[in-house]
Amino acid sequence: MLNWWESAEIGGIKYTLTPAQHYSGRSVLKRNSTLWGGFYLQDGSHSLYFTGDTGYYDVFGRIFETLGAPDIMLADSGEDSPSWSHMSPDEVVKAAEELHTSCLVPVHWCAYLYGSFPWYKPAADIASEAADSSVTVAFPLIGHIYTVDELSAQSEYWWESCK
């Protein structure tokens, strides 16, 4: 078990638990008693940061300052409006900018509907936001395997054919 900013090495990969902002608990008595986090993975050749479920706040610049710019950022992207526990599309792009990631991969969208918007809207909105920024966004096809070097070229808006 790790606390925020602690690391463990397993099989040549260094895992660092990073802070995340999310509510926790399913009852009033146990509300916000669980530590939420993301993971920053490094293997000597590449680095990957997974935000975990988090709202947007000042953590992304701190992660960059502490651990560096990751090759890939897997970002919680399922919301279409800001909330304390998830990021809106503009916040996802802003977080990627603050982290100086080489490639943003939106995740946690289209898995299930929990908003009043179409399933593809978070990805389409992130693509639109990123077009006005320096962020490279990849939308890998579900079920396909990509190398780190191949991932950033996966910019096709595949959901357009699934609407």
Each residue of 36-86: pLDDT tens digit? Answer: 899 999 999 999 999 998 888 999 999 999 999 999 999 988 765 655 567
Q: Which residue has the higher pLDDT, 43 or 30?
A: 43
Examine residue 131 and state whether it is found in any structural domain, yes or no. yes
Q: Which residues contact 59 (CB under 8 A, 6 or more apart)?
A: 18, 19, 20, 21
Assigned domain for 28 exists: no
With bands split at pLDDT 50, 70 and 90, how would you rate the model's confidence at 25?
A: low
Predicted confidence at residue 93, as pLDDT, reads 96
Query: Is 47 contained in some domain?
Result: yes
| Cα atoms in the 13 Å half-sphere on the side-chain side of 25 | 10
Q: Is residue 121 part of a domain?
A: yes
- Exposed, middle or buried by CB within 10 Å (0-12, 13-18, 19+), for 123? buried
Does residue 155 fall inside a structural domain?
A: yes
77 vs 30, higher pLDDT: 77
Say whether pTM exceeds 0.85. yes
Cα-to-chain-centroid distance, residue 158: 19
Residue 27 lies in a domain: no
The tally of domains found in the chain comes to 1
* Within a domain: 1: no
Q: Per mean pLDDT, which of 2-11, 14-23, 27-36 is the most reliable?
A: 2-11
Percent of the chain with pLDDT over 70: 85
pLDDT of residue 59: 95
pLDDT value at 98 more than 90: yes
Task: Report how far residue 73's alpha carbon sits from residue 75's, in angstroms, rounded to the nearest whole number.
Answer: 6
| Per-residue model confidence (pLDDT) at position 143 | 87
CATH classification of the domain holding 92? 3.60.15.10
